[in-house]
């Protein structure tokens, strides 16, 4: 029962956490979607809004200057010229008002779409600014015309004032008569008219009330006209000159307020939004990043194509590398490999028994010394060869076991760290030499005091060396027995008329071998990075070469190294390691 409850609670807890995770993902996704939509909107609107604001300000300054220029020109105009200009301004006002009404039409907004917001606000601001300037100019022209008319015909203005006064008195007298008739109607309707408003007396009272209200409005209008005319007449003697046009900047700013407000909101969002700040930081380098990405993908293929179709064919025409010439005075070093004909090419095994006789000495890596008799004396050799300290360290030929025995003893040599590695014994006769990469050497057996000599052979003047990045070759001179290691087996084969082998598998070759490189085929695996550009080619009578069956350098882990490891490995390969 307890186990059932525990399992049930665990299941509920798991699904509860899953539910909470789903909710958080949906909330975060919705927030990110909203932020991205706002960033996209601001990214498209903010530059357009800024440009629209600058254009609106420039147009406003131009229209303001033109309006002031027209006002200065109209200051000395006649009444007829003022009337003509007022008709032009009225036409402009009517046209701009119609355009504003069309822009506020919902159907027009739907046809414009959301993407046209900056342009729509800019057009509205320009129309509003022009309309406001025309209205201010129209008001100024009306004032100017009134002042000019009064100034030109003061007597007519006074007569007009008198006419307005008489008209007001006439309207006032009519108003007073109507009030008297209404008072009489109130008094004559009696209680019946008051209780029944729809009676004849009640209808007469309402008609008189409407007449009094209408007459009062006409009287007030006549009084207003009289007062305005009186103010003009009173001011004319004291007016020094005609007034100049003064632009009300606040009303112009109010006409362009929607555009300015939208720009302010966009700039506020841009200043406060983390997503927008990130977008601004990333956007300038997007093009460069895309170019780098394309180059990162395309350039390696282009370089590989150049190497495959240009450099590799040139290398195939270059003379092969020969460490030692077999046509020298003494050809004994090369007779030693003739015995390979007819023998099995695989010379390795999981373990090898090595006989260590009196006077012999063995240097071997500790990981390859599997077992030995008790009487064998074991010491430590700090470095395989102090003359070649860097290759010795790079090939792990340091802190070696030094073994020697007072009587014959069998040493079992085998790898204790890699299950796929096998070891081979390569005997180098006296006077012979063998070129070997130090990475494939696990140990060496020689007569005490006759440690095999290592020689360097630099080949800087050949294209083979530069394409393979192996500029130096190390040869081991006999007599000695080299203990060579390789993954899943080591093979020693005759070169004959010519043999090809993967560069990653090559361990070494005899000094009389004609070594060169040829272009690997087919092209597509090389272009896709699945194999190397070049294969090693070995040729020569009585020549042989040594290679491992599974290249350690061809493994996936080896190919996935970081660039620093690849650079170090290339440097070590150039030194023959």
Chain centroid offset of residue 230 CA: 76
Which tokens sit at 560?
């996935």
pLDDT digits (tens, 9 = 90+) for 453-506: 888 888 888 888 888 888 888 889 889 999 999 998 999 999 888 899 988 899
Adjacency order of strands within the sheet including 351-356: 351-356, 409-414, 369-371
What pLDDT was estimated at residue 193? 56
pLDDT higher than 80, residue 97: yes
What pLDDT was estimated at residue 336? 47
Element (H, E) at 290: helix 286-306
CB 89 within 8 A of CB 138: yes
* Predicted model pTM: 0.53
Domain edges within the chain: 18-152+244-282, 154-243, 316-574
For residue 133, give the nearest of 43, 245, 19, 286 by alpha carbon.
245
What pLDDT was estimated at residue 42? 66
What pLDDT was estimated at residue 539? 92
CA dist., res. 278 & res. 291, Å (int): 20
For CA atoms 291, 297, 303, 309, give the dihedral sign.
Answer: negative
Q: Is 125 helix (H, G, I), strand (E, B) or coil?
A: helix
Could you give the percent of the chain with pLDDT greater than 90? 12
Q: Is 547 helix (H, G, I), strand (E, B) or coil?
A: strand
N-terminal to C-terminal alpha carbon distance within the chain: 68
What pLDDT was estimated at residue 197? 60
Residue ranges of the alpha helices (H) in 307-411? 312-316, 332-335, 389-394
Instruction: Using pLDDT thresholds of 50, 70 and 90, give the confidence band for residue 558.
Output: very low
pLDDT digits (tens, 9 = 90+) for 531-554: 888 889 999 888 899 999 988 754
pLDDT higher than 80, residue 34: no
CATH class of the structural domain 316-574: alpha beta
Buried b (16+ CB within 10 A) or exposed e, 528-551: eeebbbbbbbbbbebbbbbbbeeb
pLDDT digits (tens, 9 = 90+) for 46-58: 778 778 888 888 8
pLDDT higher than 70, residue 238: no
Instruction: Using pLDDT thresholds of 50, 70 and 90, give the confidence band for residue 338.
Output: very low
pLDDT higher than 60, residue 178: yes
Element (H, E) at 360: strand 360-364
pLDDT digits (tens, 9 = 90+) for 415-429: 988 888 999 999 999
What pLDDT was estimated at residue 556? 46
CB 440 within 8 A of CB 487: no
What pLDDT was estimated at residue 109? 47
CA dist., res. 300 & res. 488, Å (int): 32
pLDDT digits (tens, 9 = 90+) for 341-386: 445 677 889 999 999 989 899 999 999 999 999 888 999 888 888 8
CB 425 within 8 A of CB 501: no
């Amino acid at each position: 029962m307890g186990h059932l409850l525990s399992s049930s609670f665990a299941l509920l807890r798991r699904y509860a956490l899953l539910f909470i995770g789903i909710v958080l993902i949906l909330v975060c996704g919705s927030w990110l979607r909203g932020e991205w939509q706002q960033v996209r909107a601001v990214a498209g609107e903010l530059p357009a809004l800024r440009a629209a604001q600058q254009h609106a300000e420039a147009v406003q300054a131009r229209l303001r200057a033109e309006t002031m220029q027209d006002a200065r020109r109209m200051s000395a105009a006649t009444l007829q010229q003022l009337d003509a200009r007022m008709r032009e301004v009225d036409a402009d006002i009517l046209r701009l008002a119609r355009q504003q009404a069309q822009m506020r039409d919902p159907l027009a907004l739907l046809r414009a779409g959301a993407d046209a917001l900056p342009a729509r606000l800019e057009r509205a601001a320009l129309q509003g600014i022009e309309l406001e300037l025309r209205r201010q100019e129209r008001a100024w022209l009306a004032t100017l015309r009134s002042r000019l008319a009064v100034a030109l015909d003061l007597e007519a203005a006074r007569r007009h004032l008198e006419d307005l006064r008489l008209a007001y008195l006439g309207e006032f007298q009519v108003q007073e008569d109507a009030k008297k008739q209404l008072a009489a109607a109130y008094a004559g309707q009696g209680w019946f008219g008051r209780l029944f408003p729809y009676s004849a007396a009640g209808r007469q009272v309402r008609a008189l009330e409407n007449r009094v209200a209408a007459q009062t409005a006409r009287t007030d209008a006549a009084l207003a006209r009289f007062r305005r005319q009186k103010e003009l007449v009173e001011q004319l003697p004291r007016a020094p000159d005609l007034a100049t046009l003064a632009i009300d900047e606040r009303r112009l700013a109010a006409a362009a307020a929607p555009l300015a407000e939208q720009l302010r909101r966009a700039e506020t969002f841009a200043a406060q939004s983390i997503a927008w700040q990130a977008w601004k930081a990333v956007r300038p380098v997007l093009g460069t990043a895309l170019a780098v990405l394309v180059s990162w993908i395309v350039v390696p293929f282009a370089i590989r194509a150049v190497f495959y179709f240009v450099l590799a064919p040139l290398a195939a025409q270059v003379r092969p590398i020969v460490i030692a010439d077999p046509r020298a005075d003494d050809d004994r070093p090369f007779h030693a490999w003739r015995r390979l004909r007819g023998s099995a090419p695989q010379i390795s095994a999981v373990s090898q028994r090595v006989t260590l006789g009196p006077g012999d000495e063995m240097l071997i890596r500790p990981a390859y010394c599997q077992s030995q008799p008790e009487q064998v004396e074991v010491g430590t050799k700090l470095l395989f060869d102090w003359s070649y300290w860097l290759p010795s360290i790079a090939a792990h030929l340091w802190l070696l076991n030094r073994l020697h025995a007072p009587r014959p003893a069998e040493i079992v040599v085998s790898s204790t760290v890699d299950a796929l590695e096998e070891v081979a014994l390569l005997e180098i006769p006296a006077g012979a030499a063998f070129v070997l990469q130090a990475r494939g050497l696990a140990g060496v057996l020689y007569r005490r005091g006759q440690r095999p000599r290592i020689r360097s052979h630099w080949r800087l003047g050949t294209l083979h060396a530069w394409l393979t990045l192996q500029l130096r070759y190390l040869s081991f001179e006999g007599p000695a027995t080299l203990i060579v290691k390789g993954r899943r087996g080591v093979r020693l084969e005759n070169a004959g008329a010519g043999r090809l082998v993967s560069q990653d598998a090559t361990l070494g070759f005899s000094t009389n071998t004609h070594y060169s490189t040829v272009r690997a085929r087919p092209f597509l695996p090389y272009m896709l990075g699945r194999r190397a550009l070049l294969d090693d080619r070995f040729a020569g009578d009585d020549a042989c070469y040594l290679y491992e069956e599974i290249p350690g350098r061809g493994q996936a882990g080896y190919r996935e190294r970081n660039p620093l490891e690849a650079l170090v490995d290339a440097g070590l390969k150039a030194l023959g390691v």
